[in-house]
Amino acid sequence: MIRMKLCLILICTAWLHTEAKSRHRVIGVTLCSDTDGEVMYGSNGDEMYHVDFSTGKGVFTLPPFSDPLSYPRAYERSVVGMDICKDRLKSYTGGHSKPEPRDAPQSSIYSEDDAELDSKNTLICHITGFYPPHVEVTWTRNNVNVTDGVSLSRYYPNDDGTFSLFSHLSLIPKLGDVYSCSVEHTALDRPLPRTWEVDVELPGVGASVFCGVGLAGGLLGVAVGTFFLIKGNNCN
């Protein structure tokens, strides 16, 4: 069951029929609370467009190979929709301010590709299960703050009313480096850190050592056998 959490969600769905008579489900979501808001449109489970209120513009998120879309005055219409959403939220709560429930985030950190020394890679910090939808993410390398190569995704709503997001860090792994993704949220008493350490084995070292030891042992055995063979012949 989706919890309202003192937010109002306005959802509009429609079924569109193409010339091939196939059906496509288009959905529009407007979410607002006392602290934040979000507007998103999607089709068949994929996001097509969302509004970035921090930059004051709409963002199309369809892949490059898809047909281009046009949504005139999208941002302006989204602002009007957000005002309507907040007015309805006040009516829903009776105009009384209530403390918002808080859900603490969970996080994990992993690399996009298998770690290879001196090869470009990306660390991904996945943060999920938090409410209200605002977190601070800090990256460090060997306990020193890192800002270059850091990006933050938009907030993704989960089915239970909480939110998720991703933070990415571009890097070139060096042996012994330790990276950390630290998350701050109003439901946490202290920052929530996750670490990732560069610990890459040199390729083939184990097999080479094993073969070297085996070869040395074999040569030693031949030498010892030859010695006793010559000594036996001399005694005769």
The CATH number linked to 55 is 3.10.320.10
φ, ψ for residue 213, nearest 5 deg = -65, -45
Residue listed under structure tokens 């513009």? 57
Let me know if residue 230 belongs to a domain: no
Supply the pLDDT for residue 26.
67
- Among residues 93, 128, 158, the one where a domain terminates is 93
**Which range (83-92, 132-141, 173-182) has the least confidence?**
83-92
- Three-state DSSP state, 117: coil
Let me know if residue 189 belongs to a domain: yes
Structure tokens at 182: 């630290």
Q: Roughly how many angstroms between the first and final C-alpha of the chain, as a whole number? A: 96
Domain match, 114 and 86 both: no
Domain match, 64 and 143 both: no
Measured CA to CA in angstroms, residue 99 lies from 8, 34, 35, 135, 162 at distances of 15, 10, 11, 18, 16
- Give, in degrees to the nearest 5, the angle at Cα 118 between 113 and 122: 35
Average pLDDT over residues 39-60: 75
- Among residues 45, 60, 93, the one where a domain terminates is 93
Domain match, 186 and 110 both: yes
Domain match, 149 and 81 both: no
Its pTM stands at 0.57
Which residues face 29 on adjacent strands?
11, 40
Predicted confidence band of residue 213 (pLDDT cuts 50, 70, 90): very low
| Residue range 169-194, pLDDT digits in tens | 999 999 999 999 999 999 999 999 99
Tell me the CB-side half-sphere exposure of residue 166, using CA atoms within 13 A: 9
Query: How many helices and strands (H and E) does the chain possess?
Result: 2, 14
| Other Cβ atoms closer than 10 A to 210 | 10
Predicted confidence band of residue 136 (pLDDT cuts 50, 70, 90): very high
Of the two residues 59 and 231, the one the predictor is more confident about is 59
- Three-state DSSP state, 216: helix
- Which amino acid is present at 97? S
Work out how many domains the chain is built from and give that number.
2
Predicted confidence band of residue 130 (pLDDT cuts 50, 70, 90): very high
Of the two residues 232 and 107, the one the predictor is more confident about is 107
Domain match, 43 and 89 both: yes
Predicted confidence band of residue 41 (pLDDT cuts 50, 70, 90): confident
Query: Taking a C-beta distance cutoff of 8 angstroms, is the pair 8, 88 a contact?
Result: yes
Supply the pLDDT for residue 146.
95
Domain match, 133 and 59 both: no
Let me know if residue 119 belongs to a domain: yes
Let me know if residue 3 belongs to a domain: no
Let me know if residue 221 belongs to a domain: no
Let me know if residue 217 belongs to a domain: no
Please give the distance of CA 30 from its chain centroid, rounded to a whole number. Answer: 23
Give me the percent of the chain exceeding a pLDDT of 90.
31
Is 80 exceeded by the pLDDT of residue 231? no
Tell me which residue range forms the domain holding 148. 106-197
Let me know if residue 72 belongs to a domain: yes
Supply the pLDDT for residue 159.
81
- Three-state DSSP state, 58: strand
- Give, in degrees to the nearest 5, the angle at Cα 153 between 122 and 66: 95
Domain match, 83 and 23 both: yes
Is 50 exceeded by the pLDDT of residue 2? no
Burial status of residue 2 (CB atoms within 10 A of its CB: 0-12, 13-18, 19 or more): exposed
Let me know if residue 2 belongs to a domain: no
Cα separation, 119 vs 166, whole angstroms: 22
Is 50 exceeded by the pLDDT of residue 207? no
